[in-house]
A = this chain, B = another copy of it.
Amino acid sequence: MGIPRANSVAEASADSVTGADLHLDLANRRGRADLVNALHESIRTGRLTPGTRLPSSRQLAKDLGIARNTVADAFGQLVAEGWLTARQGSGTVVADRILPRSEVPKPHPTPETQRFRYDLTPGSPDVSTFPRSEWLAAARRALPAAPNDAFGYGDPRGRVELRENLADYLARARGVRADPDRIVICSGYVQALNLLTDVLRLQGAQTMSVEEFGYDLHWDVIRSRGVEPKPVPVDEYGVRADLLEGRAALLTPAHQMPTGVPLAPDRRTKAVEWARETDAILIEDDYDGEFRYDRQPVGALQALDPERVVYTGTASKSLAPALRLAWMVLPEHLMDPVLEVKRTTDLLTATLDQLVLAEFIASGHYDRHVRRTRQHYRRRRDHLVELLAVRAPGVTVAGISAGLHVLLDVPGEAADMVARASRQGLLIASLDRYRFTPDPAARQALIVGYGTPPDHSYNGALDLLCQVLAV
């Protein structure tokens, strides 16, 4: 193999050094760990070269004014780690396996720093609304009360306390037919989609229908699992259910992302029929089902056929993305396959915040928080709509009845407006940004997320938006 024998030492070139020669940077710390670190550093930086013979532990202890046992222990550790080699008769020498100082590692670039003063892209709630003290109070109730096994390797579906409270909540608030035994808690919606796609591929799926408008992240998740997403047209009644294909379809029935239309009743039944007749699965992404303002709530598609529709929900919009808590309500036949994939993905989802969320729901704080933030976002939406009517009368606003974003049909080139906004420090996105196959000449529209900015910058963001739209 041409690899030199381990532990051979370049004894021919061995220099012996004294304690003083080592120039060890021990400052005032003289424990074993300090000496080990100082020797590591000297060897790494090349100050101590391979083959260098160290003083005896007795001598070095004397030179450095520390206990001999400390030095002997440090030498022992460095030998065990492969930094030094101890040979009867030849003393302790720096092993020749260790490279001299490698290039100083370049720090990984930090994620693009926020170049924008204002962010009106959709997808994030106003994270300043996170109810920190109520959450901490729920944690103070939930953690001491939890059984010991809540801190161990637990049920891969997630904590039963959360699944039971979620089943109640989802039935009540979203009309989901939810049995706690059929709920799987996931590490965010991305993981839910990842697990489902993995299972579908293992069952032979090669393609999955997706709405022609949506998030490229989701399409990337599907592709990363070896399945090809196929775009299906979306019109004013939602996705064209008559054009679904593949083994599954990913849908946003309550509020199409990002066009904002709810899936029409006949499209709902047609989609379910398609799934039944072709043995396919519908994945219902109920990403902002909590936030509906003007009209009666539109219940979950899942209730039409729980054996054909996977319901997915998330705490990312209602509480905070950083919780990374999402849930699936699964058909019976998908439980075991999903749990098997979950096992080799991350075993189970972190449990402590599950306990806190269960308590948060059970105590009524979740409903209260949703009501409060719903009013908060509704006020923002109303403000936006009123302002646009006055300052940008050529703009048509759509998709206002729910969610955290609206669609603006604009009387000019959407791409130009995005660029102009960008130059003024405002991040907005065109509808085209969310189109599966970009087509800059198609419908000229912007997607404006009014959830993201904190309160203190919302008015400034809207003002800039109106300037951009009015030009």
Contact = CB atoms under 8 A, between A and B. Distances in A.
Interface of A: 1-4, 6-7, 32-33, 36-37, 40, 44, 73, 76-77, 79-83, 85, 95, 97-99, 102, 105-108, 110-111, 123-124, 127-128, 130, 132-133, 135-136, 139-140, 143-144, 148-157, 171-172, 175, 177, 179, 181-182, 187-188, 190-191, 194, 217, 220-221, 224, 242, 262, 265-270, 272-274, 277, 296-299, 301, 303-307, 320-325, 332, 335-336, 341, 343-353, 454
A344 to B, nearest CB: 4
A276 to B, nearest CB: 9
B148 A454 contact: yes
Given A303-B81, A353-B350, A179 B135 contact: no
B187 A349 contact: yes
A191 B83 CA distance: 31
Contact of A352 (B188, B272, B323): B323
Contacts of A217: 343-344, 347
A297 B188 CA distance: 38
Contacts of A151: 127, 130, 320-322
Contacts of A345: 190-191, 194, 224, 345
A224 B341 contact: yes
11 contacts: A6-B269, A36-B175, A77-B296, A82-B301, A83-B303, A105-B306, A108-B332, A187-B350, A190-B347, A194-B346, A322-B352
A-B pairs with lowest CB-CB distance, top 8: A6-B266, A322-B351, A97-B269, A324-B350, A224-B344, A151-B320, A82-B268, A127-B151
A79 B299 CA distance: 10
Interface of A, helix, strand, loop or mixed by DSSP: helix
Given A274-B3, A341-B224, A350-B187, A82 B143 contact: no
Nearest to A143: B132
Given A81-B299, A152-B322, 13 more contacts: A2-B277, A32-B296, A37-B175, A95-B265, A95-B269, A102-B307, A124-B153, A150-B322, A153-B322, A187-B349, A188-B347, A190-B343, A323-B350
A80 B255 CA distance: 12
A27 to B, nearest CB: 14
A154 B296 CA distance: 34
A344 B345 CA distance: 12
Contacts of A454: 148
B82 A182 contact: no
A327 to B, nearest CB: 14
Contact of A77 (B149, B274, B298): B298
A458 to B, nearest CB: 14
